[in-house]
A and B are shown apart, each in its own frame.
Chain A
Amino acid sequence: MFSFIGNYATLSAVLVATLLPFIAFLAILIFTRSNTRLSSRLSIGAVSVSLGCALLLLLMNWHLEKPIEYSAVWLVSSAVEIPFGFLIDPLSLLMLAIVAAISFLVQVYSLGYMEGDPGFSRYYAFMSLFAWAMLSLTVSPTILQLYIFWELVGLSSYLLIGFWYEKFSASQAGKKAFVMTRTGDVAFFLGILIVLYHIGNFSILEMNGPQAAERMAPSVLTLSALLIFCGIIGKSAQFPLLTWLPDAMEGPTPVSALLHSATMVAAGVFLFARLFPFFSLSPAAMEIFLAIGTISMLLASTMAMVSRDIKKVWAYSTISQLGYMIMALGAGSYFSGVFHLTTHAGFKSLLFLCSGVFIHHFETNDIYELGKLGARRLKIPTVAIVVASAALAGLPPLSGYFSKEAILAGLSAKANPLWLSAALFGVFLTSYYTFRVIFVVFLSRIGEEKPEGRSSDTAGGAGHTGGSGYWFMAWPLIVLAAVTLILGFFEIPLKSFLTGGVASVVPREGGAVSWAGHLALGLALFGVFLSWFEFGRPNARQIGFIESIPPLFKLFSERWYLDHFYRFFVTHVIDRGISYLCYQNDNKVIDGSIDKMCESTVEGGEVVALWHLSMVQYRLLIMFAVIALLSIYFFF
C-alpha cells in the first residue's frame, strides 16, 4: 500500500527524528557550552523537529498493515550479520511520539526550572543525549541495537541524576541507579546471547515470529525470557532492584519527570511490549513476570503511603504503576499494558512537573511544609496536579481510569483470582496515597498564616510568581493536563492501531470488565474518602492509619529494609567474601607468580652474566660448547 515516495518520506522522517537530538548534543558540548541561550534553543529546536517528525510518522502510518524495516549491515562475523536500521510498527511509532512529546515539554519546562543554573548548557546537552538514546531505542530493529541504546539511556540518566554532582547524595544516587540497572543488564545480555545462539541473529521480528518457538526448546526459551526480563527489572525498577528509583529523585525535577514517564523506566516496559509475542511463548515465565509486577506494585504502594517527600511519593507510585503495566503484559493483555504506559507517561510527567513548580517556588520537598507554606496559591499547578492525581488514582473521566480498567479487564481474564484481587487492593492503596499528598498539601490548615493582602494579589492569577520562567513552567502543565483529560477517550482508535500489528490479543470478557471496573472505581473512591477523613477534613489530625501502627510504619518507611539488605549483602557477601577472595588471589597467586617469574629471570641473568666477565677463556669455553652442540645436531 506504500509507494516508494511514502517509504522514502518515512525513512527520512525517522532519520531526522532520531538523529537531530544527537547532533544537538554534540553541537552543545563542542561549540555552544558558554552560550546558554543558544544551547537551550538548539536542544529544544532539535527535539521539536523530532516531535514533528514523530507525529507526522504517526499520521502517515496510522493504517499500517505490517511492520516496515529498514536496515543496513553493520558488522558481519562469519554466519552472523548485525544490521543497524529502523523498525516501524505501531508500538514504535506510538512510543516515538510519546518520547518526543514528553521530552519537548520537559525541555520547555526546564527553561524556567533550570534558569540561572551554572550547568545550564550541560543540562541541555544531556537532555538531548537522553532524547536521542530513547528515540533510537524505540525504533531499533535488532535486539542488539536496542541494547546499545538501552545502555545509552542508562548512561544519560546517570549523568542527569547526578547532575548536581557537587552534592554528595546526588552523585551517589546517580551511581546507584547506574550500578543497579547494570546488574539487570548483565542478565539481559546473557539472554540476548542465548537468543543469538539459537535463532542465529538479533532481529526482533524473527524473535517475535514463529521461528523462535521452532528453534528454541521450551526450557531454553523460558530461560532466555527470564534473563531478558532481568534487564526489565533493573530498568523499570521492579521488585528486587527497585530502590534506585526513589534515590534518583536527587536529580533536577524535570529530569525526574522525564525519567519516570517516557524514557528510562518506560524503556523496560517498552522492551516487554516489544518482545511480547516472544515472552508469551513461555507461560511459566509469564507467570513469574506477573508475580514480580504484583509484588513491586504492592510494595511500592505501601512505601508511598508513609513518605513525606512529595517527589518520593511519585517515585514510589511510578514503581507501582510500572508494576501494573508488567502485570497487564504478564497477564497477556498487550494493549492494556501499552495503553497504561501511554497514559501514565502523560499524568506522571504532569505530576512531577507540578511538584517541580512547588519545589522551585517554596524550596522544600516535604508535603507538610508545602502545606504550611500555602502551596495552593499557585493556581495552575494546583489544578493540574489535582487532575493528574485523579488520573493516577483512576477516577473517571481521566486517562488513568480507562487504562486501569483495561488492565483489570486483562487480569480478570486470568483463572487465578489472586492477581485481580491484588490489583484491586493496589487501586485502593494508589488512590489513598495519592490523595494523601493532595489533601496534605492543599487542605492543610496547621500553622498556615495567610496574609490578606497577599491572597487578593494571587487571586488575579500567578502575578507574584512573575517572570517568563513561571510561564515556561506553566504551559507544559496546561498541555499535559489537557492530554490527561482527553487521552482516555482515544482508547478504541489506539487499540485498533496497536493491535493491528500484533495478532495475539486476549479477547475481553464483557461481564468481568464491568464488574471489576465498578469495584475498582468504588475502591478508588473509598481510598480518596479515607485519605480525606484522615488528612483533608477540617480538624483532621493529619496522621494516617499506618502511623498508628509503629512496626508497620517503620517497615514501610524503611522501604521494607530492602536497602539494608543490599547494604548487608554488599558488605558481607561481596566485599568480605568475593572481593576478599579476588584480592587474595590477585595478591598471592597472580602477583606472587609474576614476582617469582621476575626474580627467576633476574637470577638467571646473573648466572648468565658470569659468563660475560670478559674472560677470554669463558668465550673459548662457550665456543667449545657451541661446537659440541652443533656437532651433536649435525651428526646425530
Chain B
Amino acid sequence: MIVPFGHVLIFAGILFLLGMFCAVSRRNLIMIVLGIEIMLNSASLLFVASALRWQNMEGQAFVLFVLAVAATEVSVGLAIIVYAYKRTGSFDPSNFNLLK
C-alpha cells in the first residue's frame, strides 16, 4: 500500500465533514442529497482502504452494496425533489414543514 492508511483516514474524515457541512448548511434540496452522496463516498473510500490494509475482501463487497444503495437513493431522492418542486415551485427545504 503506497498511501499510508492514516492519510486515507484523514482524507475520508475531511470528505465526510465536507459532505455533512453541505447537507446541513445548503438551502437547496439537491445540494443536500449531494452532501449525503459525498458522505457515502467517503465511507466507501474508507471501506476500500481498510480492505487493502487488512487484506480482506469483505470491505470491497460492502462498497459494491453501498454503490447500489447510493444509486437507488439518488433516483428516489431526485424523484421526490422533482415532485416537491412541482408542488412548491422551489428547492428550499424550509417549505416542507407540514409536520411542525
Contact = CB atoms under 8 A, between A and B. Distances in A.
Nearest to B23: A620
B4 to A, nearest CB: 22
A616 B93 contact: yes
A456 interface: no
B25 A617 contact: yes
B89 to A, nearest CB: 18
A615 B20 contact: no
* Max chain A Cβ within 10 angstroms of own Cβ: one of B23, B24, B94, B97: B24
Interface string B78-100: 00000000000000011011011
B24 A620 contact: yes
Given A614-B99, A614-B100, A617-B32, A624 B20 contact: yes
Nearest to A619: B24
A101 to B, nearest CB: 82
Contact of A617 (B23, B99, B100): B23
A621 interface: yes
A614 B32 contact: no
A614 B20 contact: no
Interface residues of A, number: 8
B97 A617 contact: no
A613 B29 CA distance: 17
Interface string A599-627: 00000000000000111110011001000
Contact of B24 (A613, A614, A624): A624
Contacts of B24: 617, 620-621, 624
Interface of B is mostly: helix
A59 B37 CA distance: 107
B80 to A, nearest CB: 12
Nearest to B27: A617
Categorize the interface residue count of chain B. 10 to 19
A614 B99 CA distance: 8
A615 B23 contact: no
A613 B100 CA distance: 8
A620 B100 CA distance: 15
Contacts of B93: 615-617
Contacts of A617: 23-25, 32, 93
A617 B20 CA distance: 10
A615 B24 CA distance: 10
Nearest to A615: B94
Nearest to B39: A624
B98 to A, nearest CB: 9
Interface in A375-391: none
B25 A614 contact: no
A614 B32 CA distance: 16
B96 A616 contact: yes
B76 to A, nearest CB: 16
Interface string B19-38: 01001110000001000000
Contacts of A621: 24
A615 B32 CA distance: 12
Contacts of B25: 617
Contacts of B97: 613-615
A613 B95 CA distance: 11
Nearest to B100: A614
The 7 closest A-B pairs by CB, nearest first: A614-B97, A614-B100, A621-B24, A616-B93, A617-B24, A620-B24, A615-B94
Given A614-B100, A615-B97, A624-B24, 19 more contacts: A613-B94, A613-B97, A614-B94, A614-B97, A614-B99, A615-B93, A615-B94, A616-B32, A616-B93, A616-B96, A617-B23, A617-B24, A617-B25, A617-B32, A617-B93, A620-B23, A620-B24, A621-B24, A624-B20
22 contacts: A613-B94, A613-B97, A614-B94, A614-B97, A614-B99, A614-B100, A615-B93, A615-B94, A615-B97, A616-B32, A616-B93, A616-B96, A617-B23, A617-B24, A617-B25, A617-B32, A617-B93, A620-B23, A620-B24, A621-B24, A624-B20, A624-B24
